[in-house]
Amino acid sequence: MIPTYNELSIFLISVVFLLLLIFDVGCRNDVLSFYQFAKLSRLAIGSKEFGCAVIILSAVSFFALFGIILSFYHIMVPGKKDGFSELCMKCFALIITGFTGIKCGLYVLETELYKFIIFPVWNILLSIFFIYAAALVDEIPFDHTDAKLSNIIFSLIFIFIIFCLLHFVLQMNWALTFSIGVSCSFSLNRTFLKTQALLKNDFFSP
C-alpha cells in the first residue's frame, strides 16, 4: 500500500533528516560527498554528461532545500498548499527516500543485517512509484488537510524518542536510522488519518 503524503508526514521526514545532519558525522559526510563536483569534473569537464550532472545536482539541491523549508512553513501556517509548495515537498520526499533507501540497502548488504532489509526496500519501492508517477505529478497522492496541533506535538515527541534510541543508544547507521524513522512517520500518519476518519463517521452517523 502506497502511503498518502501530507504536510505532517513530509514535515517528520524533514525533522529526521535535519536531526541526522546535526548529530551524525557520517550523514554530513555522505551528503557533502554527493555534491563534490570536482569528482565529476575528473570524468568529463565541459562534456554533455558533466552538464547533465550539474543540472541534476542543482535540481536536487533546489527541491531538497525548498522542500524542507516549505514543510516547516506549512506545518505552522494553515491553508491549502499551492502547486509550487506541493511539488517541492513531493520531490523532496522522493529524493531523500530514494537516496537513503539505496544507501541503507548497501549498508545492510555489507554488514549482513538482513533483518533490517525491509526498511530500505520499502523506501526504494516508494521512490520507484513516485518516479513512475513523476510524469503525472497531479496524480501523486497528497492530502491537503491541515495537521492538528496535538498530532504534531505527539509525532515530534515520538520521532525524537525513536531517533535518540536508534542514534545514541543503538548507534545505528544514519541511513538505517532514517529509514526506520520514515517508516514510523508513515505509520503515525496512517494512524492519525484512520482515527480522524472513524471519529468523523461516528460523529455524523445517526
Digit-by-digit pLDDT tens for the chain (206 residues) are 455 688 988 999 999 999 999 999 999 988 887 766 545 555 544 555 555 666 777 777 888 899 999 999 999 998 888 888 988 898 888 788 777 777 777 776 777 665 555 655 655 565 555 555 554 555 667 888 888 888 899 889 999 999 999 999 989 889 889 888 888 877 877 787 777 767 665 544 44
Looking at this protein, which amino acid is placed at residue 91? C
Which residue in the block uniquely carries the three cell numbers 554527493? 34
Q: Which of 101, 87, 91 is nearest to 61 (CA)?
A: 91
The x, y and z cell numbers of residue 41, run together, are: 569534473
Give pTM, 2 decimals: 0.80
Residue 107: CA atoms inside 13 Å, Cβ hemisphere, count?
Answer: 21
Please name the residue that has the C-alpha cell 550539474.
Answer: 54
CA distance 54 to 165: 37
Query: Do the beta carbons of residue 190 and residue 17 sit within 8 Å?
Result: no
- Secondary structure of residue 32 in the 3-state scheme: helix
First CA to last CA across the chain, in angstroms?
32
